[in-house]
Chain A
Amino acid sequence: MSVLRGLAIFLGLVAAWQALVTLTGVDDFILPGPLAVAKALAAHWDLLAENAGVTILEILLGLALGTLLGVSSALLIAAFRPARDWLLPVLVVSQAVPVFALAPILVLWLGYGLASKVAMATLIIYFPVTAAFYDGLKRTEPGWLDLARTMGGGRLAVLRVIRIPAALPALASGLRVATAVAPIGAVVGEWVGSSAGLGYLMLQANARLQIDLMFAALFVLAVFAVLLYFAVDRSLRLALPWLAEET
């Protein structure tokens, strides 16, 4: 049912797009119609696939790395008081620096290759993951902690048995946000400096007035981003079955 609805929304948007192009008679190099984009998609399929592979790899590596770092930071801050006192202010202040402004520096330091884009995606998802998970770890139901105290559980045992599982729904929210923003990090990185990837392809196509190819690249990116989001969302639901049945 939801697949059908998704398809209907997609077709509706395409129809609106085509209607806009037909009714306004806008030039092809400003806004190509869906048919032109589909043609470009077919004509440049190899090129698109090759560059999409690069961008997808950047996004997935960034997600993995950012999640790993975010989860470990949150655990460290939650488990050790000195870590909280020293690390938390740094973390909060670091958010005052716009991540996009760091992109040129990352390219300068890490080069035009994969590393600078992975770093960009990692940076952009690190904070939402850390903040969401730490928040979850902090808000353990006090009754559970009382119970654990009368049962004589050590601090790390309480963290493992009660606080971490209790924080998983919060972590899942953080991961959903991370999944939605990770492509932004990778593409911004590619715009600043790169030799491959969908962002790179869009810049090149734009410079050569191949607007249909630019839209085709955008389309591929959007499809992947949506598929990735649903895949992550679905896996999180499967991983936390007790949440679905609550409420």
Chain B
Amino acid sequence: MTTAAPIDVRLHAARLSYRGAVIFDDLDLELPAGRTTCLLGPSGVGKTSLLRLIAGLAENHGGKDGKDSGSPGAAVDRDGRTVQGRVAYMAQQDLLLPWASVLGNVLLGPRLRGEDRDPEVDGKARSLIEQVGLKGRETDLPVRLSGGMRQRVALARTLVEDRPIVLMDEPFSALDAITRFALQELAARLLAERTVLLVTHDPLEALRLGHRIIVMAGSPARLETALDVDEDVDGDAGGPAKLPPPPRDPGHAGVLARQADLLKRLARARQKLVDLA
């Protein structure tokens, strides 16, 4: 499916402040190629800001005429090139255009770049719509779709971009539990082999989908690796059952044992934010 080789993303000494308050400073983050990294943390800690920074969507704050005194730091790949133009972005809201059909929405990127008349692109879009289980709904307007279907369209729209790096900001959080479960499964299957950064506040979601789990906490925020299947970093020292590759069964003993541990960690992180405020 992917044409480009997955790249390793490095964010070095990233800095972001908003209205004088430092959200994070001197932050390092690495995304291993072809792995799903889940970013967990209490709300307000700056997860979305970090994701937007990598996506190239962060505004410079604080400085006069748009120039910030300290560069916020840009995400680069192994060769030091900026990753802008090689990321696809999926938000919590589906952000579907209400006037465009399912197919039209999936083809948004190609249309913006003037590539939508290419029959190959059209074919790819239709095949992705089929893969997310919406075959036959190509001409429907978003208003006719349920929340889960709409997020499936958003997933297809993200995948049609065929970018090696996929950034997802709580993409399933607005869905009901059953729909979320099905979509996590689908996303994990379709995003395999891509470099994914998934922001979530749900420890179970992180444990089902992540090769790595990073907890973001504090103000200014720091990153802590809570799980890394490749590096044998494991949050629970008690040695719970070994984790299978994602997507994992939510009832797996290893998932359940680590979930409690992660929840406690998040609660501590939130308490720290509250104490600071």
- Partner-B contacts on A (CB < 8 A): 141, 143-144, 146-154, 157-158, 161-162, 165-166, 168, 240-242, 245-246
Contact = CB atoms under 8 A, between A and B. Distances in A.
A31 to B, nearest CB: 50
Contacts of B85: 152
B98 A246 contact: yes
B144 A151 contact: no
A187 to B, nearest CB: 37
Given A161-B108, A245-B143, A149 B91 contact: no
B268 interface: no
B260 interface: no
A246 B99 CA distance: 10
B55 interface: yes
Given A149-B56, A242-B99, A161 B91 contact: no
A142 to B, nearest CB: 10
Nearest to A240: B99
15 contacts: A143-B95, A146-B52, A147-B108, A150-B88, A150-B89, A151-B112, A151-B161, A152-B109, A153-B112, A158-B112, A161-B108, A166-B99, A242-B98, A242-B143, A246-B143
B111 interface: yes
Interface in B160-207: 161
A150 B166 CA distance: 11
B57 A161 contact: no
A162 B97 CA distance: 8
Contacts of B141: 241-242, 245
A157 B95 contact: no
B114 interface: yes
A151 B56 CA distance: 11
Contact of B56 (A150, A158, A162): A150
Contact of B99 (A146, A150, A151, A165): A165
Contact of A153 (B91, B97, B98, B113): B113
B112 A146 contact: no
Interface string B94-105: 010111100000
A148 B57 contact: no
B27 interface: no
